[in-house]
Amino acid sequence: MAALPSLRRLLGHRRLLSAAATATPEAVIYSIHSLSSDPSRALASFRRSAAAGQPVGSTAYNLMLRTLASDPSSAQTHFWPFLREMHDAGHSVDQGTYLAALASFKKASLSADYAALTAHYNKSREEAKSGATSAAAQAVRDLDAADLDAKLGAIGLLPLTETAVAKVLRELRDYPTKGLAFFRWAGRQQGYRHGTVAYNAMAKVLGREESVPEFWDLIHEMKAAGMHVDIDTYVKLSRNFQKRHMIREAVELYEFMMDGPFKPSQKDGPHIIRRIALAPSPDLDLAKRVVARFLAVWDKMTKELFDGIHRVLTSNGRFDEAAELVQRMRAEGHQPDNVTYSQLVYGLCKADRLDDARKVFDEMEAEGCVPDLKTWTMLIQGHCAAGDVDRALHYLTEMIDKDLDADADLLDVMVKALCSHEKVDAAYTLFVEMVDKAQLRPWQGTYKRVIDELLRINKLDEALALLRSMKVRKFPPFTEPFPPYIAKHGTVEDARDFLKALTVNTMCPAPAAYVHVLKSFFAEKRYSEAQDLLYKCPIHIRKHPHVTELFESIKVESAS
């Protein structure tokens, strides 16, 4: 008899899968989404749905196109023919699909496909600007809600279709109140009735902080009408809520979806809990709500779910409960690993228990778990946050002695900490050691930070050395702070050194670089230095119209 609850859950889950297989737009989208890791099977499912006369709308087409783009090797075979088919069916590529496909093509170095898709997308957008849906969206943006009945009927949008309504709403995604006014106007038109496509399009528009009450009213309205939030809408809404730090809304939407037929994947629950854990004071009750729904459907705790709850507990300083959770994790067959220990180190450092955080490393080694880069980073970052930069440097050295290479993240952590404690020289030395000698590729932002700090303490030569380093490593040069600094504190030779640092092979910098330096000298009223620099510039710079105009303006100003 003990097996009956699990059996009931299994049978209930099968009934839900059966419900999801019925011919609705949400079911078609769910099927494609479920097969997104296998583009060939996803396309076969799409074809079967279309052949059977099932509702295949713009969302399904876009989701299918994104899925095909994820396998760039078959771009010519499937992606482009499908895009043509999609266009012929009257559906356009949405921005999310366009960006996702571009990212896939760029990663696969398919430059021709990248350019062709960009051209197609831009052309489609230009064509759409002259269409009825675009005109309707513009009218809604320009008009008060009271004017809609009088104005929209003359635009050519009638008779309404769900596809047209969804297209208008897509263009109103930044205007939730006006989008809802249009949605209600459309619902009052004779011969038209909102279906799941229009409702899901409206949900995407309302899923933002300023329209949360209206969003949930719409969701409950859908449910009462027997409609469902499709899985593509859910993914976009959940991602948007998390990005905007609307974690409570993300949890409530997760609960709503887990109670319906189109359930999020197993990875969603742990992912939301990780987002909860990133807050300064993670909400344990929200995390428990996610776990409760997860267990109700999947009937098991995964390692990722354990890790998420463990991070929430350790971040809140609830170390006894965290230890109990680890024991339960072991009992269910999941061994603590670097993720588990890194979270404990992070929590201890956050609680200012730095010595205890270091002792975790001994515990790890006793368990046969070798601390990795992430664990060391947590320890070093914790000491930096606590202001103990010297010990952080000591641990960085210890880590490197253990044959672990620092990465760009850890270098950035150390540079920020050193600079914030007025140890700019040490930050510069560490940066050069890691980048030039250890061949670490830093973040562009770290370059900028060190350059700014060096100029702040009048270390122009070192800052120019980093500017040259950026050029060698193919980073866009960070030039902005140099001209104002040189004009205020430097010499003509410093300006020439700066311009030489921007020279590629034998090619001089662009005229704009020279103009920027000259203008900076003028701003400091150092006209003679500007004139001296001009004499030492190449002839094409001296005769450049912008340079000539600049010096003529000074002559006019002096004469007046």
In order of 73, 404, 411, 430, 451, the CA distances from 438 in angstroms are 35, 11, 12, 10, 20
- Other C-beta atoms closer than 10 Å to the C-beta of 531 total 14
Q: Residue 514: name the closest of 491, 535, 537, 488 by CA.
A: 537
Nearest alpha carbon to residue 390 among 354, 353, 418, 419:
418
Cα–Cα distance between 438 and 79 in angstroms, integer?
42
Answer for the pair 93, 86: CB distance below 8 angstroms, yes or no: yes
CA 426 to chain centre: 33
Quickly list H helices, 130-230.
132-142, 148-152, 162-171, 176-187, 196-206, 212-224
CA-nearest of 157, 244, 238 to 204 is 238
pLDDT in 10s for each residue of the chain, 560 residues:
344 444 444 444 444 444 444 568 899 999 999 999 999 999 999 999 988 888 888 999 999 999 999 988 877 789 999 999 999 988 889 999 999 999 999 999 999 999 999 999 999 888 877 778 888 888 888 876 556 777 776 676 778 889 889 999 999 999 999 999 999 999 999 899 999 999 999 999 999 999 999 999 999 999 999 999 999 999 999 999 999 999 999 999 999 999 999 999 999 999 999 999 999 899 999 999 999 999 999 999 999 999 999 999 999 999 999 999 999 999 999 999 999 999 999 999 999 999 999 999 999 989 899 999 999 999 999 999 888 999 999 999 999 999 999 999 999 999 999 999 999 999 999 999 999 888 899 999 999 999 999 999 999 999 999 999 999 999 999 999 999 999 999 999 999 999 999 988 777 898 999 999 999 999 999 999 999 999 999 999 999 999 998 888 776 565 55
| Bond preceding residue 176 cis, omega within 30 of 0 | no
pLDDT of residue 24: 87
Q: What is the per-residue pLDDT for 556?
A: 56
pTM: 0.81
What does the pLDDT read at residue 157?
77
Q: What is the pLDDT of residue 328?
A: 96
pLDDT for res 19: 41
> Alpha-carbon distance 371 to 363, whole Å?
10
Q: How far apart are CA 185 and CA 170, in angstroms?
A: 16
Q: Measured between alpha carbons, how far is 407 from 421 in angstroms, rounded to an integer?
A: 22
Q: Which helix (H) or strand (E) holds 508?
A: none
Question: Measuring CA to CA, which residue among 25, 13, 18, 23 is closest to residue 59?
Answer: 25
Q: Which pLDDT belongs to residue 73?
A: 81
